[in-house]
Amino acid sequence: MKFGSEKRKKEGGDYDFVFDNQIEFIKHEVMNCTSCCGEAYGDSLEKSMGKSGFEKLQADRRSLPVYSYREELLKAVEEHQVVIVVGETGSGKTTQIPQYLHEAGYTRHGKIGCTQPRRVAAMSVSARVSQEMGVKLGHEVGYSIRFEDCSSDKTVIKYMTDGMLLREFLGEPDLSSYSVVMVDEAHERTLSTDILFGLVKDIARSRPDLKLLISSATLDAKKFSDYFDCAPIFNIPGRRFPVEINYTRAPEADYLDAAIVTALQIHVTRPLGDGDILVFLTGQEEIEMAEEILKRRTRGLGTKIGELIICPIYANLPTELQAKIFEPTPKSARKVVLATNIAETSLTIDGIKYVIDPGFVKMKSYSPRTGMESLLVTPISKASANQRAGRAGRTGPGECFRLYTSYNYQNDLEDNTVPEIQRTNLGNVVLNLKSLGIDDLVNFDFIDPPPEASLLKALELLFALSVLNKKGELTKVGRKMAEFPLDPMLSKMIVASEKYRCSDEMISIAAMLSIGSSIFYRPKDKQVHADNARMNFYTGHVGDHIALFRIYNSWKETNFSTQWCYENYIQVRSMKRARDIRDQLEGLLERVEIEVMSSSGDLEAISKAITSAYFPNCARLQKNGSYTTLRHPQTVHIHPSSGLAQLLPRWIVYHELVQTTKEYMRQVSEIKPEWLIDVAPHFYQLKDVEDTGSKKMPRGQGRR
């Protein structure tokens, strides 16, 4: 029977787990094992039990598929400057290859850098490798992610996000401190990885001593090989067991619900101790919601079912909590991992036997026409679906439950995910390349070129922000902005704050906007209190940016008190991150010789400085309470979490657009239309900002 939204409505949103609401699956096919030879990873774990932790780790290392190819791989690296390494996820590429190279002496004259598309992967993999090497994280083995450098002079194996290595080019254009660069998870084709390809390919020519490894989890490595002048492809045969693929009989209207029901179905019908469950969801909020529902439902079932250990994992999950997903599951329980796409190839969790795949991912999309970028929940590609299924067959035969039909799979899913460079705003990359002295972007050696319209749009934006002059050269402002590891508008806001004498407030705001995780929490039983506490920061009808600054400052005034955070329903962890980021931004201000100055309560100065960067993101109120963007008219709405969501000011600028049920603007501030002409006369004309809109406000809410 279908468990759709109708049923949920009838029950008034009650998620009680009812058995006759089971989701029926059709067993469709078996994804065959690539090679089932060799002992299962779990077996060797079993055998090595009883040894000391360190010995056990060494035994684990020897049991990985890549281990049998150690010598051959080292030989290939010795003989060739560039090697493409292909191996199934979990074969040991990320954790082992840098260690092999280190053991073989490649770190005598430089370090090994290994890039990851995701922060969590860089952190967790480096932690694992430091354990395997018996060293302290941050010493010989370290990691570097934006706003967090956990490495030192001693570091010889450095895991980092691809974006961080890109930034290192700014300070060290030939990467002379590196002897090896491994561009890992190349199949993910993130924007930074794609740009790195071009840069490392170029420096390899002038640095014959530099070794390059490009590693990927998919078999489609020929493209990489062709790009790197026919570099040899080194294959690590995987060890994958058959995975049974199941499809739903009909499309599921509510995939979150369907995923939860399926997880519970598996849990109660399969013997405990036979394997864990991995569920792919699209983001933190969805994962938190699923966690809550699962907890509630299992609690309701009491001792009727075995223990279910719920482990969330997403990019912004605090480090202490990340470790939980790697802990072995007790025989008397089952683990259910609720993960974003991060578990598709970046992280390997042992013991997964069941994969639940709703078929969606949160992906950036970009319209070069309007210059608008939004995060969209989008169907995955066939390649992704198969990677996900493969996660079930690593330690033994597994099962994958696709919450879509086999018809959907065959006919609706694209073969491959479109590389990020073709669906994103290129402002940041163009600024980075320009500051590296790469002016001819059209002829940059892209593995897949971005759409010309996106490049032009980026140039147009950078020109509008006065980053580039008419000749396309970096201006003084642009040079300063390039020092900040932030999106161009955010760094423009900081650099512009010098003129408005509010750099102190601006770096707090920029830091708060860069945390990446939510600032507030809203416990179910105390929602009213939480909302009241939040609205306190909006006194005087200020916008979200100023509220962010007030929050930061109030916390600072209490000497960064944790108690204060509790009382105000604010996540202390997010605040600590904001403080770290702010400290770094303050250091960068000094570097670009901008004095830290406070506007001393002049809120208009702050709003003007924001407008001088965010003027392209301007929207104006419509009669029906929605907004229209000014430059390329499109209907948008203020996100309900904004402090201005009820107030509906006539003119606003927004920080970002997110599409969920509607196209929402997040983090908005009210502006005066005349400021637009003031800060961007080259971008707006008087007629654009004439206040011809209706004077009547919806729902009787007048302008303040």
Residue 255 or 314 with smaller CB distance to ligand CDP? 314
The pair of structure tokens assigned to 414 is: 């694209």
Return d(Cα 109, Cα 176) in angstroms, integer.
Answer: 10
Contact 535, 643 (CB under 8 A): yes
Q: Which of 91, 94, 193, 611 binds Mg ion (CB under 5 A)?
A: 94
In angstroms, what CA-CA distances link 70 with 74, 91, 116, 262?
Answer: 6, 12, 22, 41
Residue 130 or 514 with smaller CB distance to ligand CDP? 130
Residue 142's SS3 state is strand
Give the nearest distance from C-beta 395 to Mg ion in angstroms. Answer: 17
Backbone region of residue 701 per phi and psi (left: phi > 0; alpha: psi in -120 to 50; beta: other values): beta
Residue 133 or 613 with smaller CB distance to Mg ion? 133
The window from 30-38, 87-95, 269-277, 286-294 that contacts Mg ion (CB under 5 A) reads 87-95
Q: From the centroid of its chain, how far is CA 567?
A: 30
Please say whether the dihedral angle defined by the alpha carbons of residues 83, 87, 89 and 92, taken in this order, is positive or negative: negative
Q: Which does 582 bind (CB under 5 to 8 A by kind): Mg ion, ligand CDP, none?
A: none
Residue 490's SS3 state is helix
Task: List the interface residues with Mg ion, window 534-553 (CB under 5 A).
Answer: none
Contact 321, 262 (CB under 8 A): no
Residue 305 or 315 with smaller CB distance to Mg ion? 315
Contact 456, 482 (CB under 8 A): no
Return d(Cα 341, Cα 464) in angstroms, integer.
Answer: 35
Residue 66 or 482 with smaller CB distance to ligand CDP? 66
Return d(Cα 306, Cα 303) in angstroms, integer.
Answer: 7
Q: In what order do the strands lie in the sheet with 82-87?
A: 148-150, 141-145, 157-161, 111-116, 178-183, 211-216, 82-87, 233-236
Contacts of 259 (CB under 8 A, 6+ apart): 279, 281, 290, 356, 358, 403
Give the nearest distance from C-beta 104 to ligand CDP in angstroms. Answer: 17
Q: Which does 612 bind (CB under 5 to 8 A by kind): ligand CDP, Mg ion, none?
A: none
Give the nearest distance from C-beta 52 to Mg ion in angstroms. Answer: 26
Binding region for ligand CDP (CB under 6 A): 64, 87, 89-96, 124-125, 128, 326, 348, 350
Give the nearest distance from C-beta 240 to ligand CDP in angstroms. Answer: 12
Residue 352 or 490 with smaller CB distance to ligand CDP? 352
Residue 628's SS3 state is strand
The pair of structure tokens assigned to 15 is: 């998620």
The window from 91-99, 299-307, 600-608, 682-690 that contacts Mg ion (CB under 5 A) reads 91-99
Give the nearest distance from C-beta 90 to ligand CDP in angstroms. Answer: 4
Angle, helix 503-513 to helix 544-557, in steps of 10 degrees: 100
Give the nearest distance from C-beta 346 to Mg ion in angstroms. Answer: 6
Give the nearest distance from C-beta 516 to ligand CDP in angstroms. Answer: 21
Q: Which does 350 bind (CB under 5 to 8 A by kind): ligand CDP, Mg ion, none?
A: ligand CDP
Secondary structure, 3-state, 343-370? HHHCCCCCCEEEEEECCEEEEEEEECCC
The window from 93-101, 308-316, 651-659, 667-675 that contacts Mg ion (CB under 5 A) reads 93-101
Residue 280 or 569 with smaller CB distance to ligand CDP? 280
Q: Which does 124 bind (CB under 5 to 8 A by kind): ligand CDP, Mg ion, none?
A: ligand CDP
Give the nearest distance from C-beta 214 to ligand CDP in angstroms. Answer: 13
Residue 86 or 657 with smaller CB distance to Mg ion? 86
Q: Which does 91 bind (CB under 5 to 8 A by kind): Mg ion, ligand CDP, none?
A: ligand CDP
Give the nearest distance from C-beta 94 to Mg ion in angstroms. Answer: 3
Residue 213 or 519 with smaller CB distance to ligand CDP? 213
Residue nearest to Mg ion (CB): 94
Give the nearest distance from C-beta 126 to Mg ion in angstroms. Answer: 12
Residue 165 or 578 with smaller CB distance to Mg ion? 165
The window from 3-11, 36-44, 90-98, 260-268 that contacts Mg ion (CB under 5 A) reads 90-98
Q: Which does 351 bind (CB under 5 to 8 A by kind): ligand CDP, Mg ion, none?
A: none
The pair of structure tokens assigned to 138 is: 């941050």
Q: Is 425 in the site for Mg ion (CB under 5 A)?
A: no
Give the nearest distance from C-beta 627 to Mg ion in angstroms. Answer: 43
The window from 88-96, 220-228, 609-617, 622-630 that contacts Mg ion (CB under 5 A) reads 88-96
Contact 638, 665 (CB under 8 A): yes
CB atoms within 10 A of CB 656: 19
In angstroms, what CA-CA distances link 607 with 310, 505, 525?
Answer: 43, 11, 35
The pair of structure tokens assigned to 562 is: 């944790």
Residue 49 or 528 with smaller CB distance to ligand CDP? 49
Contact footprint for Mg ion (CB under 5 A): 94
